[in-house]
Amino acid sequence: MRSDQIKVALAQISPVWLDKKATLEKILVTLEEAAKQDAELVVFGEGLLPGYPFWLAFTDGAAWNKKEVKELHRHYVLNSVTIENGDLDAVCAFAKANSIAIYLGIIERPADRGGHSIYASMVYINQNGSIESVHRKLQPTYDERLTWSPGDGNGLVTHKLKDFTVSGLNCWENWMPLPRAAMYAQGTNLHVACWPGSDYNTKDITRFIAREGRCYVLSVSSTMFKSDFPKSTPHLDMILEKSPEVIANGGSCIAGPDGEWIIEPQIGKEEIITATLDLNRVLEERQNFDAVGHYSRPDVTQLTVNRERQSTVKFK
């Protein structure tokens, strides 16, 4: 395929909820299926490995010092991803062996923040199998703040992939104008928005970002159904009591640089969604609008981005 074209795959799948090992195995199987379809970039939903903290909405998660919530949090932390321990080595090896780039949503338990708090992180693995960035979600949303920590600007970077420049943001970060602007300024023309799953989230913002940024936007979501909760889940009865049958219905989709649908939100099932994208369409749409180029006024408004990886201690 030409260097100004790319085949992308949106992996709309459910996790093996809060089971790191089993979810990793499912991710690798999904990658194999995408590779058979000649995908060059495969993207997964927010926090897919090992799953989104749905229990918070079903177990009175904001109750102070509630035993059940603490035990579920402990289970979550024990199944989260520590990159330094090699938890993503198999995924990186697959990327290298198949020359596939990957955006993967993980729940990260980073050693550089003490190894106890967790972050909703978006990992970019290049076609050589190297982890090029780990973007920790800047601002967890609503009840997410009861289990996830706020991240930093270290991962606000773009990556070269063939002739494309790719970027990624987590969930409601995509509603934040300044992180979007930081990506536009670095030349993104293929943006990945990852979500826990729901067309409620993707159906409006996907087309908006595409039109504002004059770029392709891949919104990738997970699915989650009541039947997906493993029987080994702590306090499962409490979760199931208030859980609807459909918790996350997917909604993965692709918008073109004119803001129109290439693939409308896909609802209600696990699937791999593919499309071939042509960079020339971006160049055509930038003719009349470029948010950080000819249609900008940096002499009037500018953005400062702090990319320093944050820590509570610096050893000298």
92 is catalytic: no
Cβ(33)–Cβ(16) below 8 Å: no
The C-alpha angle 248, 254, 245, rounded to 5 degrees, equals: 10
Phi, psi of 108, rounded to the nearest 5 degrees: -95, 135
Catalytic residue among 40, 46, 173, 285: 46
Q: Which residues share a beta bridge with 224?
A: 248
120-147 core/surface letters (b: 16 or more CB in 10 A; e: else): bbbbbbbbebebebbbbbbebeeebeeb
Residue 316 CB: number of other CB atoms within 10 A?
2
Cβ(9)–Cβ(272) below 8 Å: yes
- Is residue 282 classed exposed, middle or buried when 0-12, 13-18 and 19+ CB atoms within 10 A define those classes? buried
Catalytic residue among 171, 194, 215, 253: 171
* CA dihedral of 146, 148, 149, 154, whole degrees rounded to 10: -160
46 is catalytic: yes
Residue 110 CB: number of other CB atoms within 10 A?
23
Amino acid letter for position 313: V
- What CA–CA distance (Å, rounded) separates 138 from 141? 10
Catalytic residue among 137, 144, 173, 285: 137
Q: State how beta strands 246-255 and 216-221 pair.
A: antiparallel
171 is catalytic: yes
Active centre residues (catalytic): 46, 137, 171
